[in-house]
Amino acid sequence: MEKEQDRGVGRYICRCAWQSLKQKLFQSVLLGCFAALVAFLVFAGTLLGSSMESGIGRMKERLGADLMIVPHGQQGKTEKLLLTGNPEFSYLDRDLEQVAANTKGVKKTTSQFYFSSVSADCCSTRVQLIAFDPGTDFAVLPWINQEEMKKTKKGQVLIGADVIAQGDHTIRFYGEKHPVAGKLSRTATGLDQSVFMTRDTMNKILEDAKKKGFHFLSPKDKGKVSAVLIKAEEGANLDKIETSLLKKATAKGDKIDIVSTQKVIGTVSAQYEFFRKGIRFLQILFILTSSLVLFLIFSFSYRERKKEFAVLRIVGVTTGRIRVMTCTQGGMISLIGGLIGLLTGALVLFPFRVLISDSLQVPMITPAAVTIAFVALMALVLTVLLGVAAADIAIRTLGRAETYFTLREGEA
């Protein structure tokens, strides 16, 4: 072994393998493409699935409320708000909060007011603005650093993970700058594209909006809220609470819808499950297809190179070493293809993360760097192993031909 190392056998084998790949450029590119496809699907598919799983997990933790009372006709829009953060606003009477609080099975209630900034010069960006009541809130406050909250003064806001503040740590709404007191951690929901504030700040911004000609509330709507959030008691029947609330609101003359966050999560989870199964199916399908294609291309390539292997046998190269040479070649091309596949996966997945999440309507949280590195490594190892195995099986199948007859093929 030591002697072989001195002779640089490994280096020579690698050079031979590289030369063969260069000589059969079309075949090499084809092999590389299939290897890249395997790596891409394993890497991107696994990360996408993992991101969605984390996203749904965080969404479950973060939604806080079990039920939300929203104005009639706003159910779908509210669900959309939770998932994508698209600004929508309409209002209902605040006394519904008290009605809900007096309903059996309800543990806590709080109200929120939604409005939005606009895509105009007066505002930094168009985002959903959410005003909450610090006195009763149980949906936003648990996710805000209490120290940050204490520091938050009137006029200051807290921004979602995807909202970008200006260089001077402010954000401008309707011509007025608001200092950013803190940034919330990622939720993978529409809340990441929202800005949070107390009711005092909300009233200030509404006044500023009015000055700029944006009327969110008519005089008769003063004191209204966008949603009443309900936290049910442990083990309470949500359907019963929903029915009871609908009855009470109807008796009161209010038209409402009730959003069950569990149902929203259930829909999202079902979408994720469908997507996960689809990805898994595609991964298995493409791994099997690519393995077969790699094997066929290697077989074809080795059939063309039969004479080369016969020559190696004549000069005293063992069948084992010929296998090492062909496997090195298989490993090399699948490594190159695998790296290209990983790079493509990263280029597709990371910059378009939000777009993918929005179009699939499933929240996504990008895994930690160490997880990404681990998935990339696993995808690369799998791709290289597939390449090596395909090359090995192909050369073993061919190895049965006798050197003598191979050499005499094509002789006059």
Among 6, 121, 147, 234, binds another protein (CB under 8 A): 6
Q: Rounded CA gap, 360 and 52, in Å?
A: 10
Q: Which amino acid is at 71?
A: P
Under the criterion CB under 8 A, does residue 306 sit at the interface with another protein? no
Stretch that binds another protein, among 127-135, 291-299, 313-321, 343-351 (CB under 8 A): 313-321
Nearer to another protein, 235 or 320 (CB): 320
Rounded to 5°, the CA angle 336-337-339 comes to: 65
Q: Inter-axis angle of helices 319-349 and 261-304, to 10 degrees?
A: 150
Q: How far is the CB of 330 from another protein (least distance, A)?
A: 16
- The DSSP call for residue 166 is -
Under the criterion CB under 8 A, does residue 318 sit at the interface with another protein? yes
Nearer to another protein, 4 or 168 (CB): 4
List the one residue out of 78, 75, 73, 70 whose CA is nearest residue 97: 70
Under the criterion CB under 8 A, does residue 329 sit at the interface with another protein? no
List the one residue out of 326, 346, 332 whose CA is nearest residue 384: 332
Stretch that binds another protein, among 81-89, 102-110, 316-324, 368-376 (CB under 8 A): 316-324
Strands 176-183 and 157-159: parallel
Q: Rounded CA gap, 148 and 197, in Å?
A: 12
Q: Where are the beta strands (DSSP E) in 314-401?
A: none
Among residue numbers 368 through 407, which ones bind another protein (CB under 8 A)? Answer: 402-404, 407
Under the criterion CB under 8 A, does residue 2 sit at the interface with another protein? no
Residue 85 contacts residue 394 (beta carbons within 8 Å): no
Q: How far is the CB of 332 from another protein (least distance, A)?
A: 14
Stretch that binds another protein, among 1-9, 92-100, 131-139, 339-347 (CB under 8 A): 1-9
Q: Rounded CA gap, 369 and 380, in Å?
A: 16
Nearer to another protein, 23 or 289 (CB): 23
Nearer to another protein, 211 or 307 (CB): 307
Q: Which residue has the tokens 């066929």?
A: 296
Under the criterion CB under 8 A, does residue 14 sit at the interface with another protein? no
What is the number of alpha carbons within 13 Å of residue 283 lying toward its C-beta? 20
Nearer to another protein, 24 or 276 (CB): 24
Residue 226 contacts residue 89 (beta carbons within 8 Å): yes
Q: Which residues pair with 159 in a beta bridge?
A: 183, 195
Under the criterion CB under 8 A, does residue 5 sit at the interface with another protein? no
Among residue numbers 16 through 35, which ones bind another protein (CB under 8 A)? Answer: 16, 19-20, 22-23
Among 238, 279, 311, 348, binds another protein (CB under 8 A): 311
Among 68, 127, 312, 349, binds another protein (CB under 8 A): 312
Under the criterion CB under 8 A, does residue 289 sit at the interface with another protein? no
Under the criterion CB under 8 A, does residue 8 sit at the interface with another protein? yes
Under the criterion CB under 8 A, does residue 303 sit at the interface with another protein? no
Q: Rounded CA gap, 318 and 326, in Å?
A: 13
Nearer to another protein, 262 or 406 (CB): 406
Tell me the CA end-to-end span of the chain in Å, nearest whole number: 43
Residues that bind another protein in the complex, under the rule CB under 8 A: 6-9, 12-13, 15-16, 19-20, 22-23, 307-308, 310-321, 325, 402-404, 407-408, 411
